[in-house]
Amino acid sequence: MGLSADGRKLAYGEENLMLYNRNTGQSVPLLKTIDGAPPDGEIFGPVFAANGDIAFTSRAGNLVPGDDNETYDVFVWDSSTNAVERVSVAADGVPANDDSGAILFHEGAIAAVDISNNGRFVAFASMAANLTADPIQSCQDYRGYERTCINIFIHDRETGETWLVTQNSNGDSPQLALSGDGRSLAFSSVADNLTPDAPACDDLPVPVNCGHIYLYDVETGDISLIDKTPDGRAGNGVSLHPAVSADGRIILFASTADNLVPGDTNRQQDIFLYNWDTGQMERVSLTN
């Protein structure tokens, strides 16, 4: 479910994309399908833009014309027009040929969609291999079967462009958070080739034994490893669940690493805060 910027509205998925208004106590369905019937697939993981637009994932094939790919797709409900737009598409409008926005693991499905404050940029994870001309590598799923790696893409609703963030990635990147200004994207990945200092992982699926946090600069295309020590060594544990501030300066994440800050001896997963401007790492899951 997703909460609006002013905290007054809550979006959640059922048989439709539902909008709950805290002031009135009422929930209303938002989606009007092309055939007038209810959506014929589940609604998953809605997230608000500050302007009121809502990005979400669905397997429904009757939200937009020509949706016959029978996969999870990423959509945006436009708050100014009530129209629904599919955004897990290539620049020429060709839809994704595999699941986007909802990543399936043995624990269940996780949502992997975010949207900038102005609703222009939508970031999502996908196993599609046809959204850009970039080569997509193969990975193993939790059962050991080979499949397309989970990559991260950004779609620009203004220009129609879609581009690959995790270029030539050799591992899954299933979790993401887009800054409100649309300029920074924090994400988790088990790939060991995204940056020169990226650590190698054992050949097991996320989130069993591995995962590190990266920050992508939307304007420059640069990717930086975030969960590392002051002297540049990668975290020695699993780092997941990234979050990022509206201006991209602050990155939060969970990690089992005990070498990111001095004195981390509790042998537990902790919450860390990284300040991009100062380069300082802080453990924030501390008792008084």
Give the per-residue pLDDT at 202.
59
Nearest Cα to Cα of residue 102 among 64, 72, 142, 59:
72
| Residue 282: pLDDT over 90 | yes
pLDDT per residue as tens digits for the range 74-93 = 999 999 999 999 999 999 99
pLDDT per residue as tens digits for the range 179-228 = 999 999 999 999 999 999 988 775 444 445 679 999 999 999 999 999 99
4 within 8 A of 52, measured Cβ to Cβ = yes
Q: What is the mean pLDDT of residues 105-128?
A: 90
pLDDT per residue as tens digits for the range 15-36 = 899 999 999 999 999 999 999 8
Q: What is the mean pLDDT of residues 265-280?
A: 94
Greater pLDDT, 106 or 61? 61
Mark 222-260 as b/e (b = at least 16 C-beta within 10 Å): ebebbbbeeeeebbebbbbbbbbbbebebbbbbbbbbbb
Q: What stretch of H or E contains 224? A: strand 223-225
Nearest Cα to Cα of residue 88 among 149, 33, 151:
151
pLDDT band at 270 (very low <50, low <70, confident <90, very high): very high
pLDDT per residue as tens digits for the range 44-55 = 899 999 999 999
Give the per-residue pLDDT at 286.
82
Give the per-residue pLDDT at 204.
45
In sequence order, what E strands does 14-118 have?
Answer: 17-21, 26-29, 43-48, 54-58, 73-77, 84-86, 102-105, 108-111, 113-115
Minimum mean pLDDT range among 69-83, 84-98, 150-164, 256-270: 256-270
